[in-house]
Copies of this chain bind each other. A is one copy, B any other.
């Protein structure tokens, strides 16, 4: 494998809420995403999900609290927990989760994006 440079990979796409796979470790994938605006409420019934902020600032809204994440911070959303990510300005993040996870989880949404898109 070649090394992955986050800035280089981020320069290759501009769409929002559309995860791009950059690396695979065993049966897990590392994905970069640009986010802006509001995502949809959803959960992942079979796995935890890791958010790492690379640049900018985002919120993860839960039913009972709001978590603000800035560059250099990470959060693990537990399996099955409803959450809604949002960002008032464009934010660049990395997600870590098992291969095959759909971005909108079990929610029926226009924001559901194609899975396993490499960049």
Contacts and interface: CB of A to CB of B under 8 A. Distances in A.
B75 A1 contact: yes
Contacts of A5: 72-73
A13 interface: no
Interface of A: 1, 3-7, 22-26, 28, 30, 47-50, 54, 67-69, 72-76, 78-79, 96-98
A76 to B, nearest CB: 5
B98 A4 contact: no
B73 A50 contact: no
A72 B8 CA distance: 10
A10 B79 CA distance: 27
Given A74-B30, A96-B96, A25 B48 contact: yes
Given A3-B73, A6-B72, A28 B28 contact: yes
